[in-house]
C-alpha cells in the first residue's frame, strides 16, 4: 500500500514543532504590540486631561475677573467667590489713583487633574468707558 507509506511521519522529524514555535513567536510579538499601543494611549489620555485642566483653569480665572469687574464704574472695589462643577472662581477689583484699576481673577479646577490659573487686568476709566491697557496671564 503505497498511499499509506507516503504518509509516514518518519520524514517530518526535522519539522516537528516548527509551527508551534512560529505561533508562539507571533503571539508574543502581537501581545507586545498591543502593550505598546496601550501605553501610548494612556500617555495621550494623561496629556489631554492636563491640557483640558489648563484651559478650564484659564477660563475660570477670566470668569473671576469678569465677575469682579461687573460694576467697575460705580464701585471702588469688589471681591467675588464662586464655585461650580468645573472648579472655584475668585476675583478682586480695586480702583487706584487717576481713574486706574486693577482686576485679578483666579481659577482652580477640580477633577482628576487639578490646576490653577491667574489673570490680571490693568486699565483706566475715562468717563463711562473702561479701557484695558494690558493683561497678564499666569498658569
Total domains in the chain come to 1
7 assigned to some structural domain? no
2 occurs within a structural domain: no
Residues linked to residue 129 through DSSP beta bridges, in sequence order: 126
Is it the case that residue 138 has pLDDT exceeding 60?
A: yes
pLDDT digits (tens, 9 = 90+) for 6-50: 555 555 556 668 888 989 999 999 999 999 999 999 999 999 999
Q: What is the pLDDT of residues 46-77, one digit of tens each?
A: 999 999 999 999 999 999 998 888 878 778 88
Examine residue 6 and state whether it is found in any structural domain, yes or no. Answer: no
CA dist 33 and 20 (Å) reads 20
DSSP helix/strand/coil, 107: strand
1 has pLDDT over 60: no
- Show the cell assigned to 44: 495621550
Considering only CA atoms, which of 51, 66, 54, 74 is closest in space to residue 105? 66
Q: What mean pLDDT comes out for the span 77-84?
A: 90
> Do residues 98 and 124 make contact, with C-beta atoms less than 8 angstroms apart?
yes
Q: Is residue 3 part of a domain?
A: no
Instruction: Compute, in degrees rounded to 10, the torsion defined by CA atoms 125, 128, 132, 137.
Output: 100
Q: For residue 97, what are the CA distances in angstroms to 68, 76, 108, 123?
A: 18, 11, 31, 11
In a domain, 9, yes or no: no
The parent domain of residue 71 ranges over 15-138
pLDDT at 102: 93
What does the buried/exposed string (b/e) look like for 105-121 if buried means 16 or more CB atoms within 10 Å of the residue's CB?
Answer: bbbbbeeebebbbbbbb
Is residue 125 a part of any domain in this protein? Answer: yes
Confidence of residue 105 (pLDDT cuts 50, 70, 90): very high
Does residue 4 belong to any structural domain of this protein? no
pTM to 2 decimals?
Answer: 0.73
Domain contains 5: no
Amino acid at each position: 500500500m503505497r498511499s499509506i507509506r507516503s504518509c509516514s511521519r518518519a520524514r517530518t522529524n526535522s519539522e516537528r514543532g516548527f509551527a508551534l514555535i512560529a505561533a508562539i513567536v507571533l503571539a508574543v510579538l502581537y501581545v507586545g504590540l498591543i502593550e505598546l499601543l496601550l501605553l501610548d494611549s494612556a500617555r495621550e489620555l494623561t496629556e489631554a486631561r492636563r491640557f483640558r485642566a489648563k484651559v478650564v483653569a484659564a477660563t475660570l480665572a477670566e470668569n473671576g475677573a469678569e465677575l469682579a469687574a461687573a460694576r467697575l464704574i460705580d464701585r471702588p472695589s469688589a471681591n467675588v467667590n464662586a464655585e461650580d462643577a468645573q472648579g472655584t472662581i475668585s476675583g478682586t477689583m480695586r480702583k487706584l489713583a487717576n481713574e486706574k484699576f486693577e482686576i485679578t481673577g483666579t481659577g482652580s479646577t477640580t477633577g482628576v487633574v487639578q490646576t490653577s490659573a491667574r489673570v490680571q487686568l490693568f486699565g483706566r476709566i475715562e468717563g463711562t468707558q473702561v479701557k484695558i491697557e494690558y493683561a497678564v496671564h499666569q498658569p
